């Protein structure tokens, strides 16, 4: 077989050539035309005089005057360079000559040639022509100076309006402070006036010498036009389900865009589990989760290219032009196989014609944990640790004798009786972050540009030891640079070049922030101090004398934090070329476009650390206070940094797309059609095994056709025809059609009367299929092939009689058995929507959706263990469904020109369930998953704690290990006298919330604005990790709530929060059960903001067009039934806490 890489390369080159060939021809032909036809003469007028004969009799005339006479007589127009033709004295005598004949005489022996094209004659120097250089003609058309003024609808002058002659062909002017302008133009010229936020105005000059232009406010682009798959649609024409988010709503005081998603858009389920810089991506799902495969999150497309969640997180809100969420089959069909979980579609800003506009944003914020987990004090820790040992084993060896406890209470010698608040030792109370963003945009007639750059700096909460000369705190700097340039190659050809790069430079603790918080929770507070100060026995030590115990195998989180640092660098670079060709000349409404893009991702990390020297106390003399420090690891500690390479991930993506688009309205009939073909390939450099190293590919052809009648009745048909490399030949392609209907009721005649009240009423519905090839797990590629590891160290064997030199061979193992039948997962989606507008102020969109996901890949349950398969056997057997509603509403009202109010709210409810799931045959009906949520957790019903050992003995046997009085008593659901897996029932709500909602308002009075936004979720359960929080196990910390409420022999509280203490993990108590189940519902004040915008006059005085200062805060308040940690973190409460942020920002625009 042919080498694939070659095939790929050869092919892409071929594709590229094909792609470029129209472009090449276009350039050659179009460029000439454009240069030549700098001004268009009215062909109709000139046609009348076409073919007229010329009579001339001139002596010592200037060439120019001769040419003018010829123009008058013939109707031809000359193009030439004035400087080059004006000098000569001309003698000519012609009677009734043809134009060509006349010119031949005129230019005989003269260094000029001519070229007649239509009604235009271009003069050029002969030698130039020979060299093939382009001509530099000058038009010779009667021109006059025209004065004018531009004002807005209130009569206020507008300064900075750009004026273009004949759509930017050449020339131009800009209005001054008072809105006045002067421009030289000929009567046939058309002047176009453009200004940001205003509708462009075009005026034909004619005989006017003075022109007054009134520019009207532009209808809001953001709200009216929605970005949909491969194009834009007016909101009022939508058939599919698309939520458009106003980019400014996504502006949060964070360097992570994804944290803003929750509650902002109907149809999005989102939550955030961590506040760690660089690891604080929110999880989000469109209309919930409907599969149990690995790919649950939506497709993210930025300018048409697939990106990861982190890339979305790093996107600058200021650069976003449109942000859409595509939710149903009709909306996503064109993306075919990639879009079964919905699509987030983002387009970035383009330059707009006009002089350079500069926008600058600067933010500085203070962030602090919303809540810290409270720990018990060290004395309580020791007392209860002893209790934990003795209550389980009266003969047990207690760790802390009375003397140690008493001395710790007194607090005398903190070196010998350490008592550490590790969190205080490791972490600061707050940290400061900065963000800056600058963009410049503008452009002339031929090209427009948008260039932006941003720098974000996020710091962690870790303290830094001054004795180290490196920074072990989290320091995440992310930079991005973007350049979008649109070039009009011809009047009908537009080329768009987008280049962007996004770079993270991270420096932080070796184990990351979450792990540092985790380590604090796993460290004994009273065994040793973080470090000892130098004493006389160790005068020469230049290293930090970190505390430890015994053999030095105890966790000292401080040492782990400051012993070194990790640096990582992540970058994404994108180069994108898009070409749009208007094919109106072929048939009106037809256009073609092609896009080619490549992205390169890279990530690497490096760790540098020394091995801490551990010290412990020996020979403490209580009377004199003398002690000696003993170095536990003199041979393994180091004073120098060691170096360790982390993973290096590099991958490249190539994407190619062509579209043919047709869009036209015939009277009341609107018709459109779109045909797209796309091919995508991704290659990973460090894939890990051969199968993963092969390119990841996707290929598809998709199409859309729409028809509407009178903007009242709409029908839309879409299809995707997709191929995936993961499946066997016969299963490789899938066809996924969808259809939609809409009816704008409010445009019906009978509705006229109601319109003042119900300004808009529209219903729409869609039905369709979407495929998904991202099934199983990402590592499971090529289901039709077995995956055999020919070198598996887990299956190795040793032989020989020499311990140091055994004969060893690795074994062979199979991690997947081949199955040629595995194929697409198919999602059938339905959507019904109602749009309602009231009084032109309140808009409500309510949608009902349902989805049936079929042929989900799952592990066969009925394969007997005795068959001995070393890998699970899988098949497309599963099915799941989801349904729900999403509702959004917004309200806007201007009370006066100074006072306005807007409010918004949205609500998403999505409930899913298993429809088909192969399971063993159970005796108990409740064990089957079918009918339960995909995210449903199963567990035991905890009744209470056992009162005593005797009760435990006389209760149904619990099969998880040691238990007795004070341990959790589970309900014997099937009453077989034993607690086994058969007693596990669905408990609680799903682990992914079913309800996410948000609401807020903003209001403004003159320059002031204020806004507040609340967000919440409901129908979610989470579990306190009983194993991770188990006190004393591996020297785990003791949570204060456990210290306050636990079962003890003296206080047999059978409803205490924590069961009987234990110094080991008690497996009976750590079973998944209702005991540690908590309600994840919450409502939080996500953001409040107050801003002041300087009045235009004031801004202008300091040479700005806009200046806004604002203060905002996020995560200020939360309401929930859970108090141990920030409830949004769910079961990961011991990690890096979610941050509360106070932020001050400055926003400047200069036009």
Residues 1014-1073 binding other proteins (CB under 8 A) are 1063-1064
Tell me: does residue 613 bind other proteins (CB under 8 A). Answer: no
- Number of residues located near other proteins, criterion CB under 8 A: 103
- Let me know: does 214 contact 311? Beta carbons within 8 Å: no
Q: Which of 649, 818, 828, 955 binds other proteins (CB under 8 A)?
A: 818
Judged by beta carbon, residue 808 or residue 1098, the one nearer other proteins is 808
| Subset of residues 828 to 847 that bind other proteins, contact rule: CB under 8 A | none
If one asks whether residue 497 binds other proteins (CB under 8 A), the answer comes out as no
Q: CB-wise, 592 or 907, nearer to other proteins?
A: 592
Complex with other proteins: residue 60 or 397, whichever CB lies closer: 397
In the chain, % helix, strand, coil (3-state, to 5) comes to 20, 45, 35
7 binds other proteins (CB under 8 A): yes
Reduce the DSSP state of residue 1005 to 3 states and report it. Answer: strand
Q: Is 212 in the site for other proteins (CB under 8 A)?
A: no
CB of 786 to other proteins, least distance (A): 5
Measured CA to CA, the distance from residue 955 to residue 935 in angstroms comes to 31
For residues 296-319, one letter each, b for 16 or more C-beta atoms within 10 angstroms of the residue's C-beta and e for the rest, the string is bbbbbbbbbbbbebbbbbbbbbbb
Shortest distance (Å) from residue 920 CB to other proteins: 3
d(CA 654, CA 346): 19
Q: Give the separation between CA 453 and CA 484, rounded to whole angstroms.
A: 12
Q: Contact between 921 and other proteins (CB under 8 A)?
A: yes
Chosen residue from 44, 48, 60, 635 binding other proteins by CB under 8 A? 635
User: What CA–CA distance (Å, rounded) separates 794 from 781?
Assistant: 22
Q: Which stretch binds other proteins (CB under 8 A): 288-296, 816-824, 876-884, 1013-1021?
A: 816-824
- The dihedral over CA atoms of 1061, 1066, 1071, 1077, expressed in degrees to the nearest 10, equals 20
Q: Which of residues 768-797 bind other proteins (CB under 8 A)?
A: 782, 785-786, 788-792, 794-797
Closest approach, Cβ 799 to other proteins, in A, equals 4
End-to-end CA distance of the chain: 60
Give, in order, the Cα–Cα distances in Å from 355 to each of 193, 482, 958.
13, 19, 77
Tell me if 31 contacts other proteins by CB under 8 A: no
Quick one: CA dihedral 851, 857, 861, 862, positive or negative? Answer: positive
**Nearest residue to 599 via CA among 563, 635, 574, 566:** 574
Is there a contact between 507 and 459 (Cβ–Cβ < 8 Å)?
no
Q: For residue 926, state whether it binds other proteins (rule: CB under 8 A).
A: no
- The answer to whether 873 contacts other proteins (rule: CB under 8 A) is yes
Which one, 689 or 1044, has the nearer CB to other proteins? 689
The distance of closest approach from Cβ of residue 701 to other proteins in the complex, given in angstroms and rounded to an integer, is 7
Which residue among 819, 902, 1048, 1149 contacts other proteins (CB under 8 A)?
A: 819
Residue nearer to other proteins on the CB measure, 799 or 1055: 799
Using CB under 8 A as the binding rule, whether residue 866 contacts other proteins is answered as yes
Sign of the torsion angle spanned by Cα atoms 374, 380, 382, 386:
negative
**Nearest CA among 878, 860, 861 for reference residue 916:** 878
Mark the segment that binds other proteins (CB under 8 A) among 19-27, 214-222, 527-535, 828-836: 19-27
Among 981, 1005, 1049, 1102, binds other proteins (CB under 8 A): 981
| CA–CA dist 588, 610 (Å, integer) | 71
Identify which of residues 96 and 551 has a Cβ nearer to other proteins in the complex: 551
Rounded to the nearest whole angstrom, what is the least distance from the CB of residue 780 to other proteins in the complex? 14
Q: Is 592 in the site for other proteins (CB under 8 A)?
A: yes
By CB under 8 A, which span of 187-195, 388-396, 737-745, 1108-1116 interacts with other proteins?
388-396
- Rg over CA atoms, the chain: 37
If the CB atoms of residues 553 and 648 are measured against other proteins, the closer one turns out to be 553
List the strands of the sheet with 613-618, edge to edge. 531-532, 545-547, 613-618, 628-631
Per CB under 8 A, which of residues 229..248 are in contact with other proteins? none
Closer Cβ to other proteins, 662 or 707, answer by number: 662
Distance CA 713, CA 668 (A): 11
Q: 970 or 1125: whose CB is closer to other proteins?
A: 970
Tell me which of 13, 212, 806, 953 binds other proteins, using CB under 8 A. 806
Note whether 491 binds other proteins by CB under 8 A. no
Q: Which is nearer to other proteins, 412 or 800 (CB)?
A: 800
Phi, psi of 459 (to 5 degrees): -110, 155
Give the DSSP per-residue string, 802-830.
-GGG-EEEEEEEEEE---TT---EEEEEE
145 touches other proteins (CB under 8 A):
no
Based on CB atoms, which residue is closest to other proteins, 326 or 495? 495
Contact present, 1016 and 998 (Cβ < 8 Å):
yes
- Tell me which DSSP letter residue 839 carries: T
- The answer to whether the beta carbons of residues 829 and 329 sit under 8 Å apart is yes
The answer to whether 1084 and 1013 are in contact (CB under 8 A) is: no
CA distance 461 to 192: 55
In the complex, the smallest distance separating the C-beta of residue 400 from other proteins, rounded to whole angstroms, is 11
Place of tokens 């008058």: 72
- Residue 205 in tokens: 């000059």
Residue with token string 């263990």: 865
The least CB distance from residue 429 to other proteins, in Å, is 36
Segment near other proteins (CB under 8 A); pick from 70-78, 92-100, 347-355, 577-585: 577-585
692 near other proteins (CB under 8 A): no
Stretch of 34-42, 161-169, 830-838, 856-864 lying at the interface with other proteins (CB under 8 A) = 856-864
Q: Which stretch binds other proteins (CB under 8 A): 160-168, 287-295, 978-986, 1004-1012?
A: 978-986
Q: Does 207 bind other proteins (CB under 8 A)?
A: no
Q: Does 954 bind other proteins (CB under 8 A)?
A: no
Candidates 411, 625, 811, 1123: give the one binding other proteins (CB under 8 A). Answer: 811
If the CB atoms of residues 93 and 791 are measured against other proteins, the closer one turns out to be 791
Burial pattern 114-141, b for ≥16 Cβ within 10 A else e, equals: beeeebbbbbbbeebeeeeeebebbebb
Q: If binding is defined by CB under 8 A, does position 961 make contact with other proteins?
A: yes
- In terms of phi and psi (left: phi > 0; alpha: psi -120 to 50; beta: otherwise), the region of 693 is alpha
- Residue 679 as a binder of other proteins (CB under 8 A): the answer is yes
Smallest distance, other proteins to C-beta of residue 863, A = 6
Q: Pick the closer one to other proteins by CB: 375 or 656.
A: 656
Nearer to other proteins, 567 or 918 (CB): 918
Binds other proteins (CB under 8 A): choice among 960, 999, 1001, 1142: 960
Q: Closest approach of Cβ 875 to other proteins, in Å?
A: 9
- Residue 954's contacts (CB-CB under 8 Å, 6 or more residues apart) are none
Cβ(847)–Cβ(266) below 8 Å: yes
What single-letter DSSP state applies at residue 534?
P
Interaction residues for other proteins, span 711-770 (CB under 8 A): 723-725, 729, 732
**Which range of residues in 16-24, 95-103, 315-323, 1114-1122 is near other proteins by CB under 8 A?**
16-24
Which of 940, 964, 929 lies closest to 1071 in space, CA to CA? 940
Binding of residue 397 to other proteins (CB under 8 A): yes
Q: Does 956 bind other proteins (CB under 8 A)?
A: no
Please tell me whether residue 407 adopts helix, strand or coil conformation: helix
Question: For 15, phi and psi rounded to 5 degrees?
Answer: -60, -40
Q: Give the number of residues written for the chain.
A: 1151
Binding segment (CB under 8 A) for other proteins, from list 144-152, 267-275, 646-654, 810-818: 810-818
Collapsed DSSP state (helix, strand, coil) of residue 855: strand
């Amino acid at each position: 077989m042919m080498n694939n890489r070659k095939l790929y390369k050869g092919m892409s080159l071929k594709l590229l050539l094909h792609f470029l060939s129209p472009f090449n021809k276009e350039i050659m032909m179009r460029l000439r035309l454009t240069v030549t036809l700098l001004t268009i003469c009215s062909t109709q007028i000139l046609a009348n005089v076409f073919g007229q004969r010329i009579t001339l009799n001139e002596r010592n005339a200037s060439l120019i005057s001769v040419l003018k006479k010829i123009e008058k007589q013939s109707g031809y127009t000359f193009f030439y360079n004035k400087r080059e033709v004006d000098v000569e004295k001309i003698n000519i005598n012609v009677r009734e000559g043809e134009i060509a004949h006349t010119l031949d005489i005129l230019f005989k022996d003269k260094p000029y040639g001519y070229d007649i094209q239509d009604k235009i004659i271009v003069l050029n120097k002969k030698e130039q022509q020979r060299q093939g250089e382009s001509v530099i003609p000058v038009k010779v058309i009667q021109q006059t100076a025209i004065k004018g003024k531009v004002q807005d609808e209130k009569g206020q002058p507008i300064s900075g309006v750009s004026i273009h002659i004949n759509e930017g062909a050449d020339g131009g002017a800009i209005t001054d402070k008072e809105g006045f302008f002067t421009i030289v133009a000929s009567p046939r010229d058309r002047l176009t006036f453009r200004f940001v936020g205003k509708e462009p105005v075009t005026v034909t000059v004619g005989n006017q010498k003075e022109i007054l232009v009134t520019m009207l406010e532009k209808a809001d682009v953001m709200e009216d036009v929605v970005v949909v798959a491969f194009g834009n649609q007016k909101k009022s024409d939508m058939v599919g389900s698309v939520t458009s988010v106003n980019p400014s709503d996504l502006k949060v005081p964070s360097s992570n865009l994804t944290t803003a998603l929750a509650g902002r858009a109907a149809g999005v389920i989102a939550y955030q589990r961590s506040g760690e810089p660089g690891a604080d991506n929110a999880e989000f799902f469109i209309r919930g989760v409907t599969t149990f495969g690995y790919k649950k999150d939506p497709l993210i497309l930025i300018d048409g290219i697939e990106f990861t969640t982190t890339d979305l997180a790093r996107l600058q809100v200021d650069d976003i032009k449109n942000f859409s969420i595509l939710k149903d089959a009709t909306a996503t069909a064109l993306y075919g196989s990639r879009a079964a979980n919905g699509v987030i579609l983002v387009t970035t800003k383009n330059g707009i014609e006009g002089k350079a506009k500069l926008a600058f944003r600067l933010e500085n914020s203070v962030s602090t944990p919303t809540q810290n987990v409270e720990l018990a004090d060290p004395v309580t820790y020791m007392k209860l640790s002893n209790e934990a040992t003795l209550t389980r084993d009266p003969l047990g060896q207690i760790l802390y004798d009375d003397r140690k406890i008493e001395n710790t209470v007194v607090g005398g010698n903190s070196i010998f009786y350490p008592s550490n608040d590790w969190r205080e030792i490791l972490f600061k109370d707050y940290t400061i972050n900065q963000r800056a963003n600058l963009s410049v945009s503008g452009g002339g007639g031929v090209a427009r540009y948008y260039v932006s750059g941003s720098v974000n700096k996020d710091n962690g909460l870790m303290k830094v030891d001054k004795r180290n000369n490196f920074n072990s705190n989290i320091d995440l700097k992310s930079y991005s640079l973007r350049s979008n340039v649109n070039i009009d190659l011809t009047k009908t050809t537009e080329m768009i070049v987008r280049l962007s790069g996004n770079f993270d430079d991270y420096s932080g603790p070796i184990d990351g922030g979450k792990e540092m918080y985790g380590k604090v929770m796993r460290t004994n507070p009273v065994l040793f101090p973080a470090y000892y100060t130098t004493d006389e026995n160790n005068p020469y030590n230049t290293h930090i004398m970190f505390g430890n115990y015994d053999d030095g195998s105890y966790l000292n989180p401080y040492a782990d934090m400051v012993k070194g640092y990790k640096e990582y660098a992540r970058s994404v670079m994108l180069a994108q070329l898009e070409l749009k060709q208007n094919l109106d000349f072929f048939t009106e409404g037809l256009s073609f476009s092609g896009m080619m893009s490549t992205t390169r991702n890279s990530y690497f990390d490096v760790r540098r650390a020394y091995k801490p020297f551990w010290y412990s106390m020996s020979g403490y003399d209580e009377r004199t206070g003398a002690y000696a420090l003993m170095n536990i690891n003199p041979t393994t500690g180091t004073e120098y940094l060691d170096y360790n390479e982390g993973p290096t991930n590099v991958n490249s993506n190539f994407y190619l797309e062509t579209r043919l688009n047709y869009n036209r309205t015939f009277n009341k009939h609107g018709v459109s059609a779109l045909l797209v073909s796309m091919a995508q390939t991704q290659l990973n450099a460090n894939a890990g095994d051969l199968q993963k190293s092969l390119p990841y590919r996707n290929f598809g052809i998709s199409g859309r056709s729409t028809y509407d009648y009178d903007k009242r009745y709409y029908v839309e048909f879409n299809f995707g025809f997709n191929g995936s490399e993961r499946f066997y030949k016969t299963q490789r392609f899938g066809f996924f059609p969808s259809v939609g209907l809409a009816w704008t009721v409010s445009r019906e005649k009978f509705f006229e009367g109601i319109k003042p009240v119900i300004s808009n009423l529209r219903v729409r519905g869609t039905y369709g299929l979407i495929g998904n090839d991202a099934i199983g797990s990402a590592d499971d590629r090529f289901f039709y092939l077995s995956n055999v590891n020919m070198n598996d160290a887990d299956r190795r064997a040793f032989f020989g009689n020499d311990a140091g030199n055994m004969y060893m061979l690795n074994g062979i193992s199979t991690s997947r058995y081949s199955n040629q039948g595995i194929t697409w997962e198919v999602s059938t989606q339905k959507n019904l929507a109602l749009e309602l507008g009231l009084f032109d102020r309140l808009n409500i969109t309510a949608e009902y959706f349902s989805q049936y996901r079929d042929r989900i890949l799952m592990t066969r349950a009925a394969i007997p263990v005795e068959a001995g398969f070393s890998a699970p056997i899988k098949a497309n057997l599963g099915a799941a469904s989801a349904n729900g509603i999403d509702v959004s509403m917004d309200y806007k009202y201007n009370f006066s020109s100074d006072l306005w109010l807007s409010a918004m709210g949205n609500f998403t409810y999505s409930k899913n369930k298993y429809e088909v799931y192969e399971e063993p045959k159970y005796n108990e009906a409740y064990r089957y998953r079918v009918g339960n949520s995909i995210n449903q957790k199963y567990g035991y019903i905890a009744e209470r704690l056992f009162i005593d050992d005797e009760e435990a003995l006389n209760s149904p046997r619990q099969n998880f290990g040691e238990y007795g009085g004070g341990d959790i008593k589970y309900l014997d659901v099937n009453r077989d006298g034993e607690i086994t897996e058969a007693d596990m029932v669905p408990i609680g709500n799903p682990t992914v919330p079913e309800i996410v909602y948000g609401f807020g308002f903003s209001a403004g009075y003159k320059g002031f604005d204020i806004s507040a936004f609340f967000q919440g979720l409901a129908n979610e359960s989470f579990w306190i990790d009983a194993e991770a929080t188990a006190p004393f196990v591996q020297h785990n910390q003791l949570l204060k709530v456990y210290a306050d409420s636990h079962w003890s022999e003296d206080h047999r509280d059978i409803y205490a929060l924590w069961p009987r203490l234990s110094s080991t993990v008690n497996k009976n108590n750590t079973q998944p059960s209702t005991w540690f189940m908590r309600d994840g519902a919450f409502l939080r004040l996500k953001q409040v903001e107050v801003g002041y915008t300087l009045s235009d006059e004031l801004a202008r005085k300091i040479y700005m067009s806009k200046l806004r200062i604002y203060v905002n805060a996020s995560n200020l308040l939360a309401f929930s039934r859970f108090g141990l940690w920030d409830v949004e973190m769910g079961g990961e409460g011991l990690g890096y806490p979610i941050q509360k942020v106070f932020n001050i920002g400055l926003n400047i625009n200069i036009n």
